[in-house]
Amino acid sequence: MARIKDVSCLLALLASVLATQELAGKFKIIGNSGVGAMLTVQATPDTVFIIDKTQKNELQVGGHSAWATAYDLRTNTIRAMDIGTNTFCAAGVILGNGTILHAGGDLASQYPMDGINGSIDGRRRLRLLDPCDDGNCEWTDRADLEMNSPRWYPTLEVLEDGSTIIMGGSVKGAYVNPEDNPTYEYFPSRGADRNMTFLARTYPLNLYPLVWLLPDSRLFVQADYKAINFDHVNNIEQDLPDIPYSFRVYPASAANWLTPLTAENNYTHTVNFCGGVSLTKDELIGSVDGPPALDVLQVAADTSCTSLNPLDAKPVWNDFEPLPEGRIMGSAIILPDLTILILNGAHYGTAGYGDLGSASWMTAGASYAESPTLTPIIYDPKRPKGKQWSSDGLSPSTIPRMYHSTAILLSDGSVFVSGSNPNSDVVPPEDTKYGTEYRVEKFYPPYFKAARRPRPTGLPDSLSYGGDPFTIELSSDDLFGDTKNIKTIMVTYIRPGSSTHAINFAQRAIKLQWSHKMLDNGGVRLSVQQLPSPTIFAPGPALLYVVVAGIPSEGKFVMAGSGKLGKQVVRPLVLPLVDVEPSASDPGSTKPVPNPSGNPSGNSTASSSDDKSANISGRVASPATLAVVSLLTLVSLTLL
Ligand X SMILES: *[C@@H]1O[C@H](CO)[C@@H](O)[C@H](O)[C@H]1NC(C)=O
Residues near ligand X (CB under 6 A) are: 63, 95, 97-99, 115, 117, 128, 130, 188, 195, 266, 565, 581, 602-604, 611, 615, 635
Among ligand X, Cu ion, none, what does residue 611 contact (CB within 5–8 Å per kind)? ligand X
What is residue 324's three-state secondary structure?
Answer: coil
Q: Which is nearer to ligand X, 394 or 635 (CB)?
A: 635
Biggest distance spanned by C-alpha atoms of the chain:
82
Binding span for Cu ion by CB under 5 A among 11-19, 87-95, 206-214, 432-440: 87-95
Among ligand X, Cu ion, none, what does residue 188 contact (CB within 5–8 Å per kind)? ligand X
> What is the rounded distance in angstroms from the CA atom of residue 327 to the CA atom of residue 346?
5
Among ligand X, Cu ion, none, what does residue 115 contact (CB within 5–8 Å per kind)? ligand X
Rounded to the nearest angstrom, the gap between the alpha carbon of residue 234 and the centroid of all alpha carbons in its chain is 28
- 503 contributes a contact to Cu ion by CB under 5 A: no
Give me the least distance between CB of 289 and ligand X, in Å please: 21
Looking at the DSSP bridge assignments, the partners of residue 511 are 492
Q: Which is nearer to Cu ion, 175 or 465 (CB)?
A: 175
> What is the rounded distance in angstroms from the CA atom of residue 178 to the CA atom of residue 248?
19
Q: Which is nearer to ligand X, 21 or 615 (CB)?
A: 615
Give me the least distance between CB of 432 and ligand X, in Å please: 30
Q: Which is nearer to ligand X, 255 or 565 (CB)?
A: 565
Among Cu ion, ligand X, none, what does residue 602 contact (CB within 5–8 Å per kind)? ligand X
Q: Which is nearer to ligand X, 369 or 635 (CB)?
A: 635
* Phi/psi-derived region of residue 528, left when phi > 0, alpha when psi is between -120 and 50, beta in every other case: beta
Distant-in-sequence contacts of 608-614, Cβ < 8 A, 24+ apart = 608/264, 608/487, 609/486, 609/487, 609/514, 609/515, 609/516, 609/578, 609/579, 610/486, 610/487, 611/483, 611/484, 611/486, 611/487, 613/578, 613/579, 614/486, 614/515, 614/516, 614/578, 614/579, 614/580, 614/581
Give me the least distance between CB of 574 and ligand X, in Å please: 19
* Phi/psi-derived region of residue 98, left when phi > 0, alpha when psi is between -120 and 50, beta in every other case: left
- 474 contributes a contact to Cu ion by CB under 5 A: no
Give me the least distance between CB of 178 and ligand X, in Å please: 17
Give me the least distance between CB of 406 and ligand X, in Å please: 24
Q: Which is nearer to ligand X, 396 or 563 (CB)?
A: 563
Among ligand X, Cu ion, none, what does residue 89 contact (CB within 5–8 Å per kind)? Cu ion
Q: Which is nearer to ligand X, 304 or 529 (CB)?
A: 529
Among Cu ion, ligand X, none, what does residue 635 contact (CB within 5–8 Å per kind)? ligand X
Q: Which is nearer to Cu ion, 89 or 427 (CB)?
A: 89
Among Cu ion, ligand X, none, what does residue 81 contact (CB within 5–8 Å per kind)? none
What is residue 350's three-state secondary structure?
Answer: strand
> What is the rounded distance in angstroms from the CA atom of residue 86 to the CA atom of residue 498?
18
Give me the least distance between CB of 148 and Cu ion, in Å please: 22
Q: Are the C-beta atoms of residues 368 and 348 closer than 8 Å to each other?
A: no
Residue from 50, 59, 89, 165 binding Cu ion (CB under 5 A): 89
Q: How far apart are the first and last CA of the chain?
A: 49
Other C-beta atoms closer than 10 Å to the C-beta of 421 total 27
Nearest residue by C-beta to Cu ion? Answer: 89
- Peptide bond before 188: cis, by omega within 30 degrees of 0? yes
Give me the least distance between CB of 41 and Cu ion, in Å please: 16
> What is the rounded distance in angstroms from the CA atom of residue 355 to the CA atom of residue 289?
11
Question: If binding means CB under 5 A, how many residues of this protein chain bind Cu ion?
Answer: 1
Q: Which is nearer to Cu ion, 89 or 107 (CB)?
A: 89
Among ligand X, Cu ion, none, what does residue 603 contact (CB within 5–8 Å per kind)? ligand X
Report the site for Cu ion in 535-554 (rule: CB under 5 A): none
Looking at the DSSP bridge assignments, the partners of residue 221 are 211, 228
Q: Which residues contact 402 (CB under 8 A, 6 or more apart)?
A: 329, 345, 346, 367, 369, 372, 420, 421, 422, 434
Other C-beta atoms closer than 10 Å to the C-beta of 607 total 24
Among Cu ion, ligand X, none, what does residue 610 contact (CB within 5–8 Å per kind)? none
Cα–Cα distances in Å, from 99 out to 15, 69, 126, 363?
A: 38, 17, 12, 42
Binding span for Cu ion by CB under 5 A among 2-10, 83-91, 503-511, 529-537: 83-91
Cα–Cα distances in Å, from 115 out to 58, 62, 64, 84?
A: 13, 8, 5, 12
Give me the least distance between CB of 342 and ligand X, in Å please: 27
Q: Which is nearer to ligand X, 385 or 612 (CB)?
A: 612
Q: Which is nearer to Cu ion, 422 or 446 (CB)?
A: 422
Residues that bind Cu ion (CB under 5 A): 89
